[in-house]
Amino acid sequence: MGDIVSRLWITGYRSYELGMFKDDDPKRKVIDYVLTNELRQAIINGTDWIISGGQLGVEQWALEAANHLKSEYPDEFQTSMMLPFAEFGNNWNEKNQLKLQKLRQSVDFSASVSQQPYHSPQQLRNYQEFMLNHTDQVIMIYDLDNPGKSQYDFDKIKKFADSHPYPYRLITFDDLQNAADEYQENQNNSFQDD
């Protein structure tokens, strides 16, 4: 039996990198489906902390999916939103700031790695180091053939994993397409059962 992963980091694309600008985008249902399945499996396998950042996109969606799973798995895991610096998201529009604030209030723990507002890329590197040193595994919704801002995270994760026992899993666009097909099939089957 393998090591039990207790602290799971979830990260990946920003919403705009996926061309998703509204919460009701159909692609969101597929990503929620994937995240929910991945998180459910992680919880079953012993994960007791689901940790993500506050970026719009995969990070916030992962924490939302984890919060929804709390009713299914009460008292089995906790959620944490870690931010790279103080005043994170303050330059976002009001709607997105409110979304961040609401999600931050819904998690079990939240803090900023740097207590200062953004002033240097070093804060982002410090955040990556913190996440790698305070988690046991990472799941990324990220496709190496379609680079985005998460490339920086992937490069750091890969380098860290080369010298530490740190498993990482990439969920690629092919994986998302397979999940979309499975999700659609499930929807069709449930429609036929009604």
pLDDT more than 70, % of the chain:
95
According to the model, what pLDDT value does residue 193 have?
61
Q: How far, in Å, CA of 102 to CA of 17, rounded?
A: 23
pLDDT band of 168, cuts 50, 70, 90: very high
Q: How far, in Å, CA of 184 to CA of 33, rounded?
A: 11
User: Which CATH number does the domain housing residue 62 bear?
Assistant: 3.40.50.450
78 found inside a domain: yes
99 found inside a domain: yes
1 found inside a domain: no
Residue 60 has pLDDT above 80, yes or no: yes
25 found inside a domain: yes
Number of domains observed in the structure of the chain: 1
For the whole model, what pTM was predicted?
A: 0.93
Domain coverage including residue 105? 7-193
Instruction: Report the SS3 class of residue 126.
Output: helix
Which structure tokens are listed for 136?
């046991």
Residue 3 has pLDDT above 60, yes or no: no
Q: Could you tell me which residues are beta bridge partners of residue 12?
A: 141
118 found inside a domain: yes
According to the model, what pLDDT value does residue 121 have?
97
2 found inside a domain: no
Q: How far, in Å, CA of 98 to CA of 90, rounded?
A: 10
According to the model, what pLDDT value does residue 194 have?
55
115 found inside a domain: yes
Which structure tokens are listed for 22?
């509204």
Q: How far, in Å, CA of 83 to CA of 72, rounded?
A: 27
At 105-155, the pLDDT tens digits run: 999 999 999 999 999 999 999 999 999 999 999 999 999 999 999 999 999
